[in-house]
Amino acid sequence: MDSNKNSVQNELNEDVENLSIKSKTSPILTMRKMQSLIRDYRLIDSSTGIITMSIVNLLNIQKADNILECGCGQEYSLPYICGVKKPSSNLYMTDFQEVKLRKIKQKVQLLEDHPLCQDLYDHKLVPDIEFQQKYESKKLKIIVELADATQLSYPSNMFDSYYGGLLLDEVQEPQRIVMEAYRVLKKGGRAGFTVFSEKDEKEYEVYKIIDDAYLQILQEQEDSIKQNESLVKKTRKASSYTYEELDSFYLEIYQIGSRAKIQKYLQLANFQNILIWESFVPVQCYDVSHFNECFEVFAQDQNWDPDLKQKVFELSKCKYYEKMQETNQPFGFTVICAVAQKL
């Protein structure tokens, strides 16, 4: 058993080393900047509730006394989780970003008095309340806390169910999170995780369409992009990210990204009864607001004059709808889901 565990650890160490080597050749984009991009493009966020619900159904929270969610984000599945858990059970929700916890606190308060309120699902909700370390709803038995998932303050063997949605991709040492999940779970407890799949880049194809439209317009204005490098430099801010930069940066954002790798992390933490599968989550493709939001996220980091911005918008929107009609497939993203048990 020890030799198998050492073998798994050695494989993970190799993965980390390879990531470190390849990252040196990646463009200078920080993980926080990529996370910021993803958070802005949070039509994703409202879609991830579908995945959360499917995993929650396998975590047996209907019978749990204590439930922990780390990296809760904006948690669009909060009404569902509250409806499924026992009224007497405690739901702990943690994140390391205070702005997220402010939203969770406001949603919990809305849920107390207006359980059917549409604001519970609004990805643009701007909280108008403060958050300081911890908030508790005695009515719903929900505790919202600022916490580091790699170093939890909870005692060992406390929780029956643990969930970390799109959490492992956001930290430098995902193994520490998995180990902590195992520690705080009771014997027989279940943990669920999701990570972005490295094989699927469709989510960012919207940005490629916009960038291609921009380059096409420049090509139409001049004989070639190479003859106009100075113009390209002037119309892009130094901090902007092109699709090519995003493409090469997948290496870092998808630092897990495969069924085999997440299985290694779970095995190393001594989890058993491991189940792993993939889920594709479509976004609102034919809703014009979907494209508009994606475009604004991309355009906010470009130094485009109004005329150029409008041209890029019109051309990329046409290409966007042409792409959907050509493929008959929605834009979206693939997530790897995993559920395991502590025995």
CATH number of the domain within which 180 lies: 3.40.50.150
Q: What is the pLDDT of residue 285?
A: 59
Residues 131, 188 share a domain: yes
Q: What is the pLDDT of residue 24?
A: 36
Residues 226, 82 share a domain: no
- Residue 248 gets the label, from left (phi > 0), alpha (psi -120 to 50) or beta, of alpha
Residues 82, 145 share a domain: yes
Quote the tokens at residue 225: 């992009």
* Pairing assessment for the beta strands 332-341 and 185-196 based on DSSP bridges: antiparallel
Point out which residues pair with 164 in neighbouring strands: 193
In order along its 343 residues, the chain shows pLDDT tens digits of: 555 556 655 655 555 444 333 333 333 333 334 444 444 444 445 566 678 888 888 999 999 999 999 988 766 778 888 889 999 999 999 998 887 888 888 888 888 887 777 666 666 666 667 778 899 999 999 999 999 999 999 999 999 999 998 888 777 788 999 999 999 999 999 999 998 887 655 555 777 788 888 888 877 776 544 555 555 555 554 444 454 554 444 444 445 778 888 999 999 999 999 999 998 877 655 667 778 877 887 787 777 888 989 999 999 999 888 888 888 877 777 889 999 999 9
Which structural domain range is residue 56 located in? Answer: 2-200+254-283+331-341
Residues 290, 146 share a domain: no
Residues 290, 169 share a domain: no
Instruction: For 52-99, give the DSSP string.
Output: HHHHHTTTTGGG-SEEEEES-TT-TTHHHHHHHS-TTSEEEEEES-HH
Quote the tokens at residue 323: 């792409």
**Nearby residues of 16 by Cβ (< 8 Å), 6 or more positions away:** none
Residues 106, 84 share a domain: yes
Residues 188, 141 share a domain: yes
pTM attached to this predicted model: 0.76
Residues 228, 141 share a domain: no
Residues 152, 242 share a domain: no
Quote the tokens at residue 11: 């494989």
DSSP letter assigned to residue 302 = B
**Distance separating alpha carbons of residues 180 and 227, to the nearest angstrom:** 55
How many domains would you assign to the chain? 2
**Distance separating alpha carbons of residues 194 and 105, to the nearest angstrom:** 23
Residues 39, 160 share a domain: yes
**Distance separating alpha carbons of residues 270 and 275, to the nearest angstrom:** 14
Q: What is the pLDDT of residue 162?
A: 97
